[in-house]
Structure 1
């Protein structure tokens, strides 16, 4: 980890969380040396991460929080995690959306970040089951002369459905809407990804809605930061060979990259030149 004293709290906490997950636990005195900050600062960071539900504080340090496969964090809790990685992933994934194409974005904080990078792609038709994603386009849409929509602004279709903790709309109403449509590219956020379980979510209804998205898409692009690797939710909704491309970040370990390369047609590591 960096010993830069001027790290922002958000960056510092991301580094701490990565170290906790990578090593299975850390001690406060180790973090103070590595980050070159005070004991009090580290303890405040651990308190903040514990409130987000991603670590468990123990005497003298912290360990990863082992979540049930049915646990689904809220949107705000997830949006605070791995923000730098999500930005890198979003920039790389946005290049896969061609002007004038029909795309779909599932729910999730990474697809929410991606939506903001898609605002400059003209004449998109966007289908989404994410209230947050739809709001990004609605807020940015603006109007041209006479109150008409801004030239080149996206046409957005928001599915109906039952709202989840992550502000996605799922269930039979969403499934029926998606089933009747066809997309050039689907950008799919996931709770977890592994060789054995494929891509998964803790929400059974969301799993079925995601299956409908996949069936309606010509190309499936999963956007997921490195912390999703090895996580398994209650319900799998696609095998790895049903995904065309995974866009992730440079934190993905080498062994995971090798495994992914064996099972996925395309692996894009955002911020790096190589595409496997």
Structure 2
């Protein structure tokens, strides 16, 4: 871990989380030395990570929370986490969308944030299995004008998951019959070994169908997804063209991902960085 007293809070916490997961636990005094920050700052960071449910505070430090690979948080539980990171990612990802294109958005809180940046793009055809994403475009159409034509939205059918995605054979059949210029995929977990993963088996199958129907695949994932592995992989890194993430992702992780992806876009307060 590189010492740096000028790191943003989100970057510092991402480094701490990466260290906790890699080593299986850290002590407060170790973190103060390595990050060159105060004991109080480290403890505040650990409190924030504990509230997110990714570490467990113990006497003198923290250990990783060993969450079951089948555990799937609901949309509301995830929607309040990493708001700045998701907004940065959504803004950067929206730049990849050209007017008049056919795009697909999977379920998730980051794709939900992205949808809000796409309502002003002209001539879009949007295919989604997310009820929340479809609502974004529907609400924009109701409040829009003739000078700003609404997107054409195709909402797949299917069975609703805790993350408000529609999955299963009905959704898969609808997606399989279509072809997209660009697919934006959220995920529960991101790692070199497991790629993009989710705790929900049916959602994994629907996401695989999305990938098979897309000319170009863009993963949108904030730094907290790094190192997490869900029950089922739905895309290997070799199947992803671009990853859009935030500046909280440690430099070591960016370098590792860049070896396996065509492009990594890092969105943040200082502007996007590109690798790959």
TM range (shorter): 0.7 to 0.9
Q: Is the 8 A contact 1:17 1:55 kept in 2?
A: no
Q: Is the 8 A contact 1:200 1:237 kept in 2?
A: yes
TM superposition shift of 1:119:
1.4
Q: 1:22 to 1:203 in 2, by over 3 A?
A: same
**Secondary structure at the counterpart of residue 229 of structure 2:** coil
Q: TM-score normalized by structure 1?
A: 0.82
TM superposition shift of 1:272:
2.8
Q: 1:168 to 1:17 in 2, by over 3 A?
A: farther
- Name which structure has the greater RCO, CA cutoff 8 Å, separation 6+: 2
- In the alignment, structure 1 residue 18 sits paired with structure 2 residue 18: no
Q: TM-score normalized by structure 2?
A: 0.82
Q: 1:184 to 1:213 in 2, by over 3 A?
A: same
TM superposition shift of 1:123:
1.5
Q: 1:195 to 1:22 in 2, by over 3 A?
A: closer
Indicate which of 129, 152, 157 corresponds to 1:155.
152
- In the alignment, structure 1 residue 269 sits paired with structure 2 residue 259: no
Q: Which runs of 5+ in 1 are unaligned?
A: 4-10
Tell me which residue corresponds to 2:238.
Answer: 241
Q: Which runs of 5+ in 2 are unaligned?
A: 21-25
**Secondary structure at the counterpart of residue 274 of structure 2:** coil
Give the RMSD, CA atoms, in angstroms. 3.0
Tell me which residue corresponds to 2:23.
Answer: none
Q: Is the 8 A contact 1:221 1:246 kept in 2?
A: yes
Q: Is the 8 A contact 1:52 1:77 kept in 2?
A: no
Tell me which residue corresponds to 1:206.
Answer: 203
Q: 1:160 to 1:254 in 2, by over 3 A?
A: same
Q: Is the 8 A contact 1:20 1:26 kept in 2?
A: no
Q: Distance in 2 between matches of 1:113 and 1:144?
A: 19
Aligned pairs, how many?
261
Q: 1:86 to 1:35 in 2, by over 3 A?
A: farther
